[in-house]
Amino acid sequence: GGNWSSEGTFEVKTIQAFFSTDEVCIGFPTHFTDQSVSTIHINAWKWDFGDGNTSSDQNPSYTFSTSGTHNVKLVVTNISGAKDSLVQAVYVKSKPFASFDAPAVCQGTPAAITNTTDTNGLNISSWFWDFGDGQTSIVEQPAAHGYLGAAEYTVVLKALADNGCIDTIARKVVIGAYPIAAVTANAPLDFCKGDSVILSVPYNSLYTYNWKIDGTALAGSDSSRFVAKRTGNLTAEV
């Protein structure tokens, strides 16, 4: 035989803390599963999630406010008062931040929808657009989208990263209708000097108004009603 091996030591515990977790995307709860063992019944659990929050549940769920690595500590106590603790690194996956711009346009003009998603350093594996009118797209930057009618459409964008995390945003896209500038008068358009006639167009609080005479804008004529007192060709611009 050869030389004797060096001596070593090991500890046999009456209680040992251990736990497992799942790996989730930011915004979803991480589930903790207690796997501690003890020669007698464990009756107390203390979880410290590393951000000032704690739990006394045996198998808690906790939603971290940030992605990345979080050092979580578990302390278990059995009915005789014996304790053990374990600190483990828990990882929360980051996600992209979906976003887009879509300025309001008038009916008949295609809506320019610009993808402004912050990828957050991730690779985006797929895109999905729902334009709110039954049409969809799977390209990163779709072409300007033409809508058939004037209305508010809810556009949805989904960005899926290659780590499995997804972000979704929904936003209203406004397609404005053209106003109707139909002029009516409360009296005949031919009248004697010193008299007048009130011209009006349909009122809408979202509209602005401008009256012109012979093509020249009239100061202070920002109402849906105009009192005409002199000869000329009156135009209402809405």
pLDDT at 221: 75
Q: What is the pLDDT of residue 12?
A: 82
> What is residue 96's predicted lDDT score, i.e. its pLDDT?
97
How is the chain classified by DSSP, letter by letter? --PPPPP------SEE--EEE---BTTSPEEEEE--EESS-EEEEEEE-SSS-EE--SS-EE--SS-EEEEEEEEEEETTS-EEEEEEEEEEB---B--EE---EETTS-B--EE--B-TTPPEEEEEEE-SSS-EE-SSSPPPBPPSSSEEEEEEEEEEETTS-EEEEEEEEEEEPPPP---EESS-S---TT--EEEE----TT---EEEETTEEPTT--SSEEEE-S-S-EEEE-
Predicted confidence at residue 50, as pLDDT, reads: 95
Residue-by-residue pLDDT tens, the chain, 238 positions: 788 888 899 888 899 999 999 999 999 999 999 999 999 999 999 999 999 999 999 999 999 999 999 999 999 999 999 999 999 999 999 999 999 999 999 999 999 999 999 999 999 999 999 999 999 999 999 999 999 999 999 999 999 999 999 999 999 999 998 888 899 999 999 999 999 999 999 998 888 999 999 999 988 778 899 999 989 999 999 9
Question: Which of 14, 19, 23, 132 has the alpha carbon at shortest distance from 77?
Answer: 14
pLDDT score at 138: 97
